[in-house]
Structure 1
């Protein structure tokens, strides 16, 4: 099977699993797992891509969490919130100077996934429980990277041509 066809089957089947599992079994936002899954492929895939994607996404998550904490401590002033986001955005660009984090969109996706998870769950970044949006987003980001590496391996297995048997 051609590699793109093999990935089509692999990703299609695993997308069903991801969507089903993240609803009743492992309650994390499926859209965040898909973002992290795409991030895995964007940074190049393979074991190195897995590490780089997770590191980048989680770095964005940390920067977002710090930005949200700063916003929580400044009150509901729109200008203060905008400044906090601006500082966080500048921080993302600066960390992308590091080789492991040099794919800036992967860092931004971690930031955006964290902010989005905060908004959609309605939980503050200061929530002191397993429902903390940063913890939920982190779990989803790592899960998405796992789906990325598994889908790549499954696709490789499907596209692998069997070797002729010598008798």
Structure 2
């Protein structure tokens, strides 16, 4: 099978699995798993891409969590929230100077996924326990990266290899 068709099958089938698992057995936001899955491919895929994607996404998650904690510990006015997000945004750009984190969008996706999970779950960043949105987002980000690597391996396995030329 051609590479594009192989990846169509691989990603399509695994998207069904991801959506089913996150809707039943492992209740994390499926959209966060898809963001992390895309991040895996954007940073280049493979084992190095897996490490870089997870590191970048989780760096964004940490920066978002610190920004949300700063907002929660303040007067929570729109101006203070905006300043905290601005500082967090600047921190993401600085973090992307590191080679492992040099794909800035992957860092931003971790930040946005964390803020989005906080809003979607209705749980504050200060929530203690497994419902803490940072923990939920981290689980979803790592799960998405795992789906990325599995879809790549499966897609490669389904790809028709050229026949060796006989001389």
Partner of 1:107: 107
Partner of 1:74: 74
Partner of 1:56: 56
The reply on whether 1:154 has 2:144 as its aligned counterpart is no
SS at match of 1:74: coil
Partner of 2:25: 25
- In structure 2, C-alpha distance between the alignment counterparts of 1:160 and 1:48, rounded to whole Å: 24
Partner of 1:141: 141
SS at match of 2:129: coil
Q: CA deviation at 1:2?
A: 0.7
Partner of 2:15: 15
Partner of 2:92: 92
- In structure 2, C-alpha distance between the alignment counterparts of 1:162 and 1:92, rounded to whole Å: 43
- In structure 2, C-alpha distance between the alignment counterparts of 1:126 and 1:83, rounded to whole Å: 19
- In structure 2, C-alpha distance between the alignment counterparts of 1:103 and 1:161, rounded to whole Å: 31
- In structure 1, C-alpha distance between the alignment counterparts of 2:75 and 2:146, rounded to whole Å: 37
5+ residue gaps, structure 1, are: none
Partner of 2:44: 44
Q: Note the alpha carbon deviations across 1:68-127, whole angstroms, 9 max, x for none.
A: 000001122110000000000000000000000000000000000000000000000000
TM-score w.r.t. the length of structure 1 is: 0.96
5+ residue gaps, structure 2, are: none
TM-score w.r.t. the length of structure 2 is: 0.96
